[in-house]
A and B are shown apart, each in its own frame.
Chain A
Amino acid sequence: MKVTILDYGVGNLGSVRNALLCLGVEASVTSDARLIDSSDLLVVPGQGAAGDAMAALKSHGLVAPIQDYIRSGRPYFGICLGYQLLFDFTEEDGGIHGLGLFSGQVKRFDSRDIKVPQMGWNQLDVVNDPLELASGLDQPLFGYFANSYYVEPEDPSIVFTQTDYGTRFASSIQTATVLGCQFHPEKSGAVGLHIIKEFLNRHAH
């Protein structure tokens, strides 16, 4: 299975690479748009500011290749910004258009009642799990978060888990081919590794 981690100069690639290695998958790390198409699984991490991340995707010529890849029904695993940027629009950095692959918006937590960023472990309530990525795990599940923005998808049927932090938000989405996580599965201990492993298994050739 050819797993590609996209390196567009934003955030820590090592953690997800290590997590995949621990699951027996040696991923290649690249910023080369031509290598996206030949991947069996594309992994897009990302930390920091959405504006910088989107600008980096553009400057590396990665926007259209990612869109084509996902639209053609190929497996994609996005973490944090790699999840948020799948949607139409984010409020961050004065308003940024994302990849537009899913309808929905990315909004900032309201910091009047809660500490922003959200930093730490929060509960993941499974609402839809067609790929059964969380089956076999002891409830409740917890994921590790470090985020100031959250995704509000238009289509509730794609929501994999929901989490409460001031508001109830989609802490991950799941379709037949896309897994997007606001929490960091690569830092969420056994639960995170399990979810990654199951997603790999569903798409292993």
Chain B
Amino acid sequence: MLTKRIIPCLDVANGRVVKGTNFVDLRDAGDPVELARIYNTQGADELVFLDITATHEKRDVLRSLVERVASEVFIPFTVGGGIGDIDTIKILLDAGADKVSINSAAVRTPELVTMAGTKYGAQCVVGAIDAKRVSTEAKISVSDPGIAVDSSSEFEIYTHGGRQATGIDAVKWAKRLAELGAGELLVTSMDRDGTKVGYDIELTQRICEEVRIPVIASGGAGSIGDISDVLHVADAALVASLLHYRETTVAEIKAESRRDGHWMR
């Protein structure tokens, strides 16, 4: 039986960690490789690097980060953030990334997911979804009824770092991503992200019920209990600020989750 996974997530820009680090005694507080090493030692099952570099050098910067991580940390890791074409995917996988996550580009060009999955295997394609509860009627109408928000929709997806509404139903889109060839889904609740009130279990559960690929829950962890709770539904939990601000460690999360009956590495 597969273990439940704990996945620290690092936001990076220009090859440096950009937020949420409080490792004051590190030689270089903003070095993602150093943090990766620490989380690995604590027992992290995987790592995710979300790149928010917005310059033309983005690809080169990201490639060199991936090369450095791959040469020092021997657990699987995913890179994501604005990855929009097959060339970049190839460069990052060749540089040593195990998986790439595709978010906005999958909405813009769904074929990209299929192309990457066919070429490199579904195991290295993570479909990332930023979802928000539907409060009013969708302002954007989508012609494809297979994915459009309708009267029964509870969640809508957003792209471009959560800035752009799409009119696409999150649960339907999750199903579509799996059909397109994603091997895994990273589901972030925008309503919960940064709130520390717990993961959106309902969102996670709806999606888990619809797909047969692993689902990583993200957004809202305020305590170890929150993580353990969402693992009753999800295959893995993404954790950011709880770890970065040293409120806990991966080892503590795992010990407590184990006590709650979760099968952990």
Q: Which of A14, A117, A122, A186 touches B95 (beta carbons < 8 Å)? A: A14
* Contact (Cβ within 8 A) A189 B123: no
Q: A12–B93 Cα gap in the complex (Å)?
A: 8
Contact residues in A for B2 (Cβ distance below 8 Å): 118-122, 145, 165
Contact residues in A for B3 (Cβ distance below 8 Å): 120-123, 142
B237 to chain A, nearest CB (A): 13
Known A-B contacts A120-B3, A121-B265; the reply to A19 vs B214 at CB < 8 A is no
A84 to chain B, nearest CB (A): 14
Interface residues of B in 182-198 (CB under 8 A from A): 183-184
* Contact (Cβ within 8 A) B121 A47: yes
Q: A146–B46 Cα gap in the complex (Å)?
A: 13
Does A111 sit within 8 A of B, measured CB to CB?
yes
Interface mask (A115-136 → B, CB under 8 Å = 1, otherwise 0): 1111111110000000000000
Does B75 sit within 8 A of A, measured CB to CB?
yes
* Contact (Cβ within 8 A) B70 A18: yes
* Contact (Cβ within 8 A) B76 A187: yes
Does A78 sit within 8 A of B, measured CB to CB?
no
Q: A14–B98 Cα gap in the complex (Å)?
A: 10
Does B128 sit within 8 A of A, measured CB to CB?
no
Q: Which of A19, A21, A122 touches B1 (beta carbons < 8 Å)? A: A122
Interface mask (A80-94 → B, CB under 8 Å = 1, otherwise 0): 000000000000000
By beta carbon, the residue of chain A nearest B70 is: A18
Known A-B contacts A111-B212, A120-B214; the reply to A192 vs B5 at CB < 8 A is no
B78 to chain A, nearest CB (A): 12
Interface residues of A in 170-205 (CB under 8 A from B): 184, 186-190, 192-193
Contact residues in B for A190 (Cβ distance below 8 Å): 74
Interface residues of A in 45-76 (CB under 8 A from B): 47-48
Does B235 sit within 8 A of A, measured CB to CB?
yes
Does B152 sit within 8 A of A, measured CB to CB?
no
Q: Is the interface of A mostly helix, strand, loop or mixed?
A: mixed
Does A38 sit within 8 A of B, measured CB to CB?
no
**Total residue contacts A-B, CB cutoff 8 A:** 82
Q: Which of A22, A47, A118, A165 touches B74 (beta carbons < 8 Å)? A: A22
Does A144 sit within 8 A of B, measured CB to CB?
yes
Known A-B contacts A12-B93, A118-B2, A142-B265; the reply to A186 vs B123 at CB < 8 A is no
Interface residues of B in 250-265 (CB under 8 A from A): 265
Known A-B contacts A12-B96, A120-B214; the reply to A187 vs B123 at CB < 8 A is no
* Contact (Cβ within 8 A) B71 A192: no
Contact residues in A for B212 (Cβ distance below 8 Å): 111, 115-116
Does B122 sit within 8 A of A, measured CB to CB?
yes
Q: A122–B3 Cα gap in the complex (Å)?
A: 6
Contact residues in B for A120 (Cβ distance below 8 Å): 2-3, 5, 45, 214, 235-236
Interface residues of B in 47-63 (CB under 8 A from A): none
30 contacts between A and B (CB under 8 A): A12-B96, A12-B98, A15-B96, A22-B71, A47-B123, A48-B120, A115-B212, A115-B213, A115-B214, A117-B123, A118-B2, A119-B2, A119-B184, A120-B3, A120-B235, A120-B236, A121-B3, A121-B5, A121-B265, A123-B1, A123-B3, A142-B265, A146-B123, A164-B1, A186-B74, A187-B74, A187-B98, A188-B74, A192-B74, A193-B74
- Interface residue ranges, B against A (CB under 8 Å): 1-3, 5, 40, 45, 70-72, 74-76, 93-96, 98, 120-123, 183-184, 212-214, 235-236, 265
Top 3 A-B pairs, shortest CB-CB distance: A146-B123, A120-B2, A142-B265
